[in-house]
Chain A
Amino acid sequence: MDAKDKVKVDIKRSIQQSADDISKTIRSLFASRGIFALNMISSPGSGKTTLIEALLSRYEGKGNVAVIEGDIETEIDADRIRRHGVNVWQINTRSSCHIQPIQLLNAMEQMDLSDTRLLIVENVGNLVCPAETSLGEDKRIVLLSVTEGDEKPLKYPLIFKTSDILVITKTDLLPYVRFNVESVRQAAKVANPKIEIFELSATTGEGMPAFLDRIESFGAAKRPVS
């Protein structure tokens, strides 16, 4: 073949462009409706659903909270949340290891979010892939339970780099495990100097008020764009 038949075509675009475009659509939906959205990410079993249940107790009777649950399979988490009498939707991601933006958009279209002021999205339990995908959220929260080990920020830096809030959970178990809170705080701050860190136990309630106050203050600051 003649050399002139070979051509270099410049593209320079992000591989996740289509996912990013959908995330932008979701973000503008949140903005126009005045919905404050949280994307909760952690390993399986760090206490995401338990923390959401504790969060819901603060909003009980106010009727303006909705929850979207993400799991590979089952409605177990949605059933737990439903007992609190809130608007809940379960996404089963099947072959995907995180909630895809299109799955979130589809769920939002099927839900009645007209009165919703706070939307809590619980991502699939995984510290790797959810870190790479924006769901258009206002704040990203990463949970790390003290039973998982204090080296997690070193092993999975991206999720700590991209999160706004780190919640260290199950602190009531600290006497029984080797977990250096200070080294986790320091590593998380290196990954993201702006990260806000809370230590709490959703079971005993220790540390919960400060976290709940902070979430409430974020939500109150967001109003619909007219």
Chain B
Amino acid sequence: MHELGLATEILDVALAEAARHQAKRITTIYLQVGVIRAVEHEHLSFMFDHLSKGTLAEGVKLSIEQMPVQVECPSCGVIESAAFAWECPKCKGNEIHIMGGDALDIVSIDIEV
């Protein structure tokens, strides 16, 4: 449900940047999305296709980079994990601390000027 709000914000940011650079078209939007954010990629792209119709971003490609979480384990150090972890992926210990994985950033856009 909230993908609609996110798609609207992404489009607003991208269109504002494109206007600042007098772009004719936005071809790609690069996003970083943490794996523990509840963002459904297909749903986001679907919303985006609709919202961008008739704008400079019509037909734009969404490039989404999944950002892992860092699992900090007292025995094994810091290990990256592609999903929220409940134990150390290496030693299976549960005295771990989870860091990151909650990014929701627009990194850059490719435009035609």
B37 interface residue per 8 A CB criterion = yes
B residues 73-113 in Cβ contact with A at 8 Å:
84, 86-87, 94, 96-98, 102-113
B36 interface residue per 8 A CB criterion = yes
A residues 165-193 in Cβ contact with B at 8 Å:
186-187, 190-191, 193
Nearest-neighbour CB distance to chain A for B95, whole angstroms, equals 9
B49 interface residue per 8 A CB criterion = no
Nearest-neighbour CB distance to chain B for A180, whole angstroms, equals 14
- The one of B6, B97, B106 in contact with A193, judged by C-beta atoms closer than 8 angstroms, is B97
Asked if B37 and A132 sit within 8 Å, CB to CB, the answer is yes
Kindly state the separation between the CA atoms of A186 and B17 in the bound complex, as whole angstroms.
45
Asked if A129 and B109 sit within 8 Å, CB to CB, the answer is no
The 8 closest A-B pairs by CB, nearest first: A157-B84, A15-B104, A10-B108, A128-B38, A15-B9, A11-B106, A129-B2, A158-B36
Asked if B108 and A7 sit within 8 Å, CB to CB, the answer is no
Cβ-closest chain B residue relative to A189: B94
Cβ-closest chain A residue relative to B85: A190
Cβ-closest chain A residue relative to B27: A6
- The one of A15, A97, A161, A186 in contact with B36, judged by C-beta atoms closer than 8 angstroms, is A161
For B1, what are the chain A residues with a Cβ–Cβ distance below 8 Å? Answer: 97, 129
Kindly state the separation between the CA atoms of A27 and B5 in the bound complex, as whole angstroms.
23
Chain A residues with a Cβ under 8 A of chain B: 1, 5-18, 96-98, 128-129, 132, 154, 157-158, 161, 186-187, 190-191, 193
The number of residues on chain B lying at the interface, defined by a beta carbon within 8 Å of a beta carbon of chain A, is 36
Identify which of A1, A8, A18, A191 gathers the most chain B CB atoms within 10 Å of its CB: A8
Kindly state the separation between the CA atoms of A132 and B10 in the bound complex, as whole angstroms.
16
Kindly state the separation between the CA atoms of A158 and B104 in the bound complex, as whole angstroms.
14
B50 interface residue per 8 A CB criterion = no
Kindly state the separation between the CA atoms of A92 and B17 in the bound complex, as whole angstroms.
33
Q: A132-B37, A190-B94 are in contact. Are A5 and B17 (CB under 8 A)?
A: no
Interface contacts beyond A1-B112, A157-B98: sample of 7 additional A-B pairs, CB < 8 Å, sorted by A: A5-B112, A6-B112, A7-B113, A13-B13, A15-B31, A97-B1, A158-B37
For B5, what are the chain A residues with a Cβ–Cβ distance below 8 Å? Answer: 96
Kindly state the separation between the CA atoms of A17 and B109 in the bound complex, as whole angstroms.
17
Asked if A7 and B111 sit within 8 Å, CB to CB, the answer is yes
B residues 25-78 in Cβ contact with A at 8 Å:
27, 31, 36-38
